[in-house]
Structure 1
């Protein structure tokens, strides 16, 4: 049975300095899709030589995880937990903020010097209460380290980031069994996947246009599904890129304030206090 589609939510323009940005969630039409909290879509745009690069200098996080897809350009990551790497196009970065850390996400010196195309998506996953205060971790995967599954004679390429796709295990396994993939479709390419009806589906069209369960979905749209079926059928009417993931909802209170996502207001106050006391590390970059 095909899942019903409750609504399409168009990403809103939310530029950051000179960085073209669309925010798909949260917006006025949707707060979050438990446990998926936030998606910023940066670019696509082209930077000239001797640019300032990405503007995300040192800032703290607690209580959730971030997954960053680098479609073009690069990101240099550094954090107070010891994580550090430069990931280029086709790669991803997964950070579990957990109990808290400070990190920076900026462009490499090479990119700032030479410039070039840039397109990056960052997705935030909530952590359930039992994992809110786990030790922070970071892992970066290059394009070559992400398993690829081909569907429809190679017209569809599924980059399996976490969880699994059929019998293929992703490059990472999340604490909360979150399955995530980025999928490249050629015009006319199609696939059908089955996702248990109890699980929340995350589906965002990065570029191109697709038909999902018989509904046309243009780029920069987030699809909100019902929980009344398990089949998702996708066909590309033009070359397209989508993010597709799923997870069981936590059904817990979500209290967020800037860089912290917890279950209560008291926990938010504690997060600010711990950050100010240096318990999330001291930035020396």
Structure 2
């Protein structure tokens, strides 16, 4: 079994009236190469006539984002041409690559009617060879994500990228990142193997589970060593987790606000290109 190095509690980091917990980075853990950042928004209930999510137009370069919509919705628009509304159970995967401007806000329907909201956004680094890749956006509704049933239906694995057994995820990852969200009913269990040279991303969104003999509750990020291959998970109550894995890039990470590059000069260049309109012009 993989050894657990440490279990980290996400820190409370509200954004105005948006309940937010940040699991990466914190004072305990900077990043788990190539997993850079995770914000967990909600759960909370918005009243009718609300302003919705606050993420208006802003630029990105050098990495990718994966957004999980558990409750509520997100209306996405970007200067690469991506535009849609993804509802509960769906995901959005955006490759910022060479750079774009995008906005992630609530739909007019959600702002008018209100309702429950819970959303998580995970950032993946891109290796130097893909930092300037062409931007791309993929939005998937719940029905477009393949589901693998385990433990007689007590466990459902939503496969997003990479594969789970013979089931391939619909998102082609530039860096062979495997990502899934996993729903477990109380008492449900799951075993899987992940090559020891791959770093694991493991976050408990809801509930409480035991993984490799240790208890991890909601808002816990589990950091693993690279010494074994087996993961054994059992749900103490109904639970929801994010599970990903990838080979580390072992490259310098230099980040400033919305840009993640390999050198300080590349960060300066990103700001110059953004100001020059090279990441598109917001309309």
CA distance in 2, matches of 1:156, 1:213: 17
- Asked if 1:44 corresponds to 2:43, the answer is yes
CA distance in 1, matches of 2:121, 2:100: 17
Compute the displacement of 1:79 (Å). 0.2
Compute the displacement of 1:17 (Å). 1.1
Match of 1:97 in 2: 96
CA distance in 2, matches of 1:181, 1:173: 13
Match of 1:111 in 2: 110
Compute the displacement of 1:33 (Å). 0.1
Deviation string, structure 1 residues 212-269 (Cα, Å, up to 9, x no partner): 0000001100000000000000000000000000000000000000000000000000
- Asked if 1:230 corresponds to 2:210, the answer is no
Match of 1:146 in 2: 145
Deviation string, structure 1 residues 39-62 (Cα, Å, up to 9, x no partner): 000000000000000000000000
Match of 2:246 in 1: 247
Q: Which sections of structure 1, spanning at least 5 residues, go unmatched?
A: none
Compare 66-75 and 167-176 and name the one that shifted more: 167-176
Compute the displacement of 1:173 (Å). 1.5
Deviation string, structure 1 residues 5-49 (Cα, Å, up to 9, x no partner): 000110000001100000000000000000000000000000000
Compute the displacement of 1:156 (Å). 0.2
SS at match of 2:265: helix
Q: Which sections of structure 2, spanning at least 5 residues, go unmatched?
A: none
Match of 1:194 in 2: 193
The within-5 A match list for 1:1-285 is 2-284=1-283
CA distance in 1, matches of 2:202, 2:49: 36
SS at match of 2:269: helix
Deviation string, structure 1 residues 188-214 (Cα, Å, up to 9, x no partner): 000000000000000000010000000
How many residue pairs align between the two structures? Answer: 283
CA distance in 2, matches of 1:168, 1:10: 32
SS at match of 1:269: helix
CA distance in 2, matches of 1:171, 1:133: 23
SS at match of 2:84: strand
Deviation string, structure 1 residues 173-197 (Cα, Å, up to 9, x no partner): 2000000000000000000000000
SS at match of 1:53: coil
CA distance in 2, matches of 1:262, 1:60: 14
Compute the displacement of 1:171 (Å). 1.7
CA distance in 1, matches of 2:239, 2:170: 22
